[in-house]
Amino acid sequence: MSRSFQVVLKKVVDHSYAIEIGERLFDSLIEDLQQGLVPNVSKYAIITDSTVEPLYGRPLLERLRLNGLEADLFSFPAGETSKTRETKALLEDQLLQRAYGRDSCIIAVGGGAVTDLAGFLAGTFGRGVPSLNYATTLLAAADASVGGKTGVNTPVATNLIGVFHQPRKVYIDLAAWRTLPAREFRSGLAETIKHACLGDAGFFSDLEENLGKVISDRGQLVLDAGVCERIALANCRIKYEVVEQDEHESNLRQILNLGHTAGRALEAVSGYTLLHGEAVAVGLVIQAKLGVKRGYMTEEQAERVIALLKKAGLPTDIPDQVSNRQLMDKMYTDKKVRSGRIRFVFQDGIGAMKRFADGSYSVPVEEAEVMEVLEEMRQL
Ligand SMILES: NC(=O)c1ccc[n+]([C@@H]2O[C@H](COP(=O)([O-])OP(=O)(O)OC[C@H]3O[C@@H](n4cnc5c(N)ncnc54)[C@H](O)[C@@H]3O)[C@@H](O)[C@H]2O)c1
Ligand SMILES: O=C(O)C(=O)C[C@@H](O)[C@H](O)[C@H](O)COP(=O)(O)O
Ligand SMILES: [Zn+2]
């Protein structure tokens, strides 16, 4: 005879948090901490990378200490290839050696690689400690710092191991964009164009008209303050409105993966020689071309997407050194794969996403159909 019991867990946890957009937000962050934004914390661990460390990490550390807050800085080599379980383990050991425990708060200072890695660490350290994101790249401001997806890459593919762990607040420092290499800024523009494609036709037109005010035709950063602020605001709004409705990506949140079925496959197959946004740009093109064939977009709409990506100085072709077969095979590591079938999310024209008859925002696509588009792109 067996007996069974019900474990009732009705706790509703409010994960709401603020996003602050402005220039040089250290004062604001320190004021937040002093006013108890994150309660019951005795030590702050800044996690950053080797490039961001001297620019923003150390200056923040000094400011925290000057204000009587106990803090240390932990850094790892900059770049996507550091976003691994090994780096996470090294950082965890360093934190443990410095007696960081459950009364710690992690402050991620940097781009998306830092917020992904530090957020994952925060989500598992001591079974979960609070974290803050201080975004220093456009890509982190536009996308990675918001929404609580955290994780690391593995030799098989990107972001395969991670947790959902929402930050307690996100700080978007627009002044930090001024020290960004132009290529990194362009990478952030890819996620920006993605957001416009999936959620806001007006923002898409704004970008078509005003992109030249943030980046010149010759690829130099212009960074008009008004346009930068609009870009940050629009990105965050489009992203959080989706995350608010489907935090754990049971359906709607899949739309934020626009361009990523092929994009993240390409990023891995390129051996990370393509930046995340560069790979997503090519993924957006593949999605648009498939969408035209399926009747979800007109040729003209797809051309507008491709033209905007080009205007941003982003790649729109599959690199020669990557074969269609390699790219196709890697797409099977996508988290949207179900019953061994690759799924895509598609634009419904510009500024909206296709929802399918079964209510899902993603749909299975046969290999032959994807291959046809990949082959056509090689011939252009
Ligand atoms: N979690 C999510 O929702 C999400 C969304 C999109 C992308 N991502 C992830 O984000 C990562 C890409 O983000 P990223 O492009 O910000 O990468 P990144 O963190 O590697 O930053 C890019 C480069 O810029 C440098 N850098 C950062 N800020 C700087 C500054 N202000 N001045 C000068 N240099 C600076 C960094 O040291 C790094 O070399 C990828 O790992 C991707 O998978 C996550
Ligand atoms: O926040 C989301 O949801 C996204 O899909 C945003 C993407 O831009 C981001 O690259 C994300 O990390 C991709 O997630 P993955 O689960 O496809 O690896
Ligand atoms: Zn992305």
With pLDDT > 90 as the criterion, what percentage of the chain qualifies? 96
Is the Cα dihedral 192, 196, 198, 200 positive or negative?
positive
> Would the pTM count as exceeding 0.95?
yes
Instruction: Measure the CA–CA gap between 319 and 270, rounded to whole angstroms.
Output: 8
Instruction: Measure the CA–CA gap between 208 and 303, rounded to whole angstroms.
Output: 12
Is residue 148 annotated as involved in ligand binding? no
Record: fold of 18-180: Rossmann fold (3.40.50)
Question: Which one of the ligands is nearest to 247 CA?
Answer: 2
- One-letter amino acid at 277 equals G
Report the candidate in 104, 132, 105 with the shortest Cα–Cα distance to residue 25.
Answer: 132
Q: Does the structure show a pLDDT above 90 at 1?
A: no
Instruction: Measure the CA–CA gap between 247 and 189, rounded to whole angstroms.
Output: 24
Say if ligand 1 is within 6 A of residue 49 CB: yes
Report the candidate in 196, 183, 199, 192 with the shortest Cα–Cα distance to residue 228.
Answer: 192
Say if ligand 1 is within 6 A of residue 167 CB: no
> Model confidence at 232, in pLDDT bands (50, 70, 90)?
very high
Is residue 260 annotated as involved in ligand binding? yes
- One-letter amino acid at 57 equals G
Give me the pLDDT at residue 137, please.
Answer: 99
Domain 184-379: give its CATH code: 1.20.1090.10
Sequence ranges of the domains in the chain: 18-180, 184-379
Range 326-346 burial, b when 16+ CB lie within 10 A, else e: ebbebbebbebeeeeebbbbb
Q: What is the pLDDT of residues 329-355, one digit of tens each?
A: 999 999 999 999 999 999 999 999 999
Q: What is the pLDDT of residues 243-270, one digit of tens each?
A: 999 999 999 999 999 999 999 999 999 9
Q: What is the pLDDT of residues 172-222, one digit of tens each?
A: 999 999 999 999 999 999 999 999 999 999 999 999 999 999 999 999 999
275 near 112, Cβ under 8 Å? no
259 near 202, Cβ under 8 Å? no
Query: Which atom of ligand 1 is closest in space to residue 264's alpha carbon?
Result: 43
